[in-house]
Amino acid sequence: MMEKTKIVLFNPPGGKIYIRDYYCSKVSKAYYYPQPVDLLMQSAYFSEDKYELTVIDAIAEKKTIDEVLEEVKGIQPELIIGLLGSVSLEEDLAAYRKLKEVLPEVKIACSGDALLDNYEQKLNDYAWLDVIITNFYIDGTRQWFEALNTPVDSEITFRGIAYLKEDSGQFIFDPGKISGKLEIPVPKQATFTGNYRMPFANAEPVATVLTNYACPYPCTFCIMSTLPYATRTAGSIIEELKYLKRNGYRFIYFSDQTFFQSKAITREVLNWMISENYGINWMCFSRVDVVDEDDLKLMKAAGCKLIMFGVEWADNERLEKYKKHYSIDQIRSTFAKSKELGIKRLGTFLIGVPGQTKESILSTVRFAKEIDADYASFNVAVPRSQTSFREEALEMGLIDESVEVMDQSGDVVVMGNGVLTKDELHLLKRKAYRSFYFRPGYLLKRLFSIRSWTELKFHLIEGTHVFKSILRKQEE
């Protein structure tokens, strides 16, 4: 029997609950922590008959770098596929350098928001790094790895990765354009055994599913529109849903940037869930201009418990400037329809874009209450690589090119906005959370909405962490 090739899927340790996921990295605002979808999707491409996969998620498993090093020395993998986050860049770089010291022959491929640009320079600067994964939704990394010891045409490139040729040092990058619908194998969810949890789940264990990749909408503060949009076939998605049911998962987090973007495919999947009496509840992200009333009814019937919508601002002019391309009236309408159907709604809001005043921010907080959002997520704008928002911040002199370390949630604010300082934005974010969540009526509504012991547990854990975070920042 042929010995299997050993591969480690690796999420580095850290001093905080770092979420390095889908070209975005941040500190968990409370205690939630989903499976890292980059690694999850890559796991789909390594067949169990040829490969032995081990997941080392040092955040989920609360492992130190010394524990990680001991574990990888015992495994002796030939390939490590890992994550590199802007929020934890220095910690991550140190971890990978140590990995390469103890396993000098191992190949290392990484995905993450710290690797969104300057591919050739970073491959040269990071001596431990062999491959940058620029598209984790496809199988370029596996193809590259399998070709290392197999003669191949020198003109062949591998989609969705950047690397230096071993013999010549020549820089190679194929962005991995995708056409049509993808038949992706079922990701190996069961190999991810860490403590994964989502704050709005009403049952556990929780699984993460990605039915499409990137987003066709041009929001200027987000990198998703710069990536090639793709979707899986309905059959591919349904096979994964069957796998999750067989393996005892009881709640699903659809981590698509825009759920229901591929209308025909999503309807086929949801109708299958209804006809099969699938029985697993779920949550997702979407847009107020994507899901209409019929879509919402279908989602509800298929088990949708909560939708996260990018609201951002209570300001039509700013919504248009940053290319959200919908209005506050559309936000009001979709939130109202979702509420009527019994679907909970989370609104995400963006604080601190250039020129935004204190009054504008406070108006946005009032709007979150007006639309009766069940939950609100207030984030401070960050100048992400490859976005026109970063170009705007550079042109205004709010940052310089050296700014690399950033937290997508705004736990640490990296820039002022020309009107408000970093400290003022930090205080306003904290005030937004207090104003929204510390209302007696809101707290009572949340308490009386709980329908299971699991929901109660998650609410208590998440609420405790949110309150502690706010109180800690007050002391600071």
* Better pLDDT: 15 or 154: 15
Q: Express each pLDDT in 108-165 by its tens digit.
A: 999 999 999 999 999 999 999 999 999 999 999 999 999 997 766 666 779 999 999 9
Please give the Cα distance from 107 to 142 (Å, whole number).
12
Q: CA-based diameter of the chain, in Å?
A: 69
What is the percent of the chain where pLDDT is above 70? 94
* Domains (range + CATH), the chain: 5-174 (3.40.50.280), 198-475 (3.20.20.70)
Mean pLDDT of 269-277: 98
Instruction: Tell me which residue of 71, 89, 109, 75 sits closest to 14, measured CA to CA.
Output: 89
Question: How many Cα atoms are found within 13 Å in the side-chain-facing hemisphere of 153?
Answer: 4
Q: What's the average model confidence in pLDDT over 219-235?
A: 92
Phi, psi (rounded to 5 degrees) for 297: -65, -40
Q: What are the structure tokens assigned to 390, written together?
A: 């970063």
Nearest to 375 by CA among 37, 19, 30: 30
Q: What is the average per-residue pLDDT within 224-235?
A: 92
Cα-only R_g, the chain? 22
For residue 319, what pLDDT is reported?
95
What is the average pLDDT across 420-430?
94
| Under 8 Å between Cβ of 435 and 178 | no
Q: CA–CA separation, 263 vs 246, rounded Å?
A: 27
State the pLDDT at residue 449.
Answer: 80
- Residue 287 exposed, middle or buried by CB count within 10 Å (0-12, 13-18, 19+): buried
> How many residues can be counted in the chain?
476
Partners of residue 209 on adjacent β-strands: 254
* AA letter at 424: E
| Strand bridging mode 251-254 / 281-286 | parallel
Residues in a beta bridge with 376: 347
| Residue closest to 99 by CA, chosen among 143, 134, 124, 63 | 63
Q: Which residue has the tokens 């699938």?
A: 278
pLDDT in tens, 165-189: 988 889 999 988 787 799 999 999 9
Q: Give buried/exposed letters for 430-448 (b at 16+ CB in 10 A, else e).
A: bbbbebbbeeeebeeeeee
Q: At 5, which helix (H) or strand (E)?
A: strand 5-11
Model confidence, pTM: 0.92
- Span 367-378, average pLDDT: 96
Q: Which pLDDT score, from 0 to 100, does residue 411 have? A: 73
Q: Is residue 393 within 8 Å of residue 383, measured between CB atoms? A: yes
Per DSSP, the three-state class of 109 is strand
pLDDT tens digits for range 244-253: 999 999 999 9
Question: In Å, how far are 4, 173, 208, 432 from 429, measured between CA atoms?
Answer: 50, 40, 28, 5
Closest CA to 172 of 206, 199, 132, 136: 132
412 — pLDDT class (breaks 50, 70, 90): confident
Does the pLDDT at position 473 exceed 60?
no
Higher-confidence residue: 400 or 274?
Answer: 274
The pLDDT of residue 475 is 46
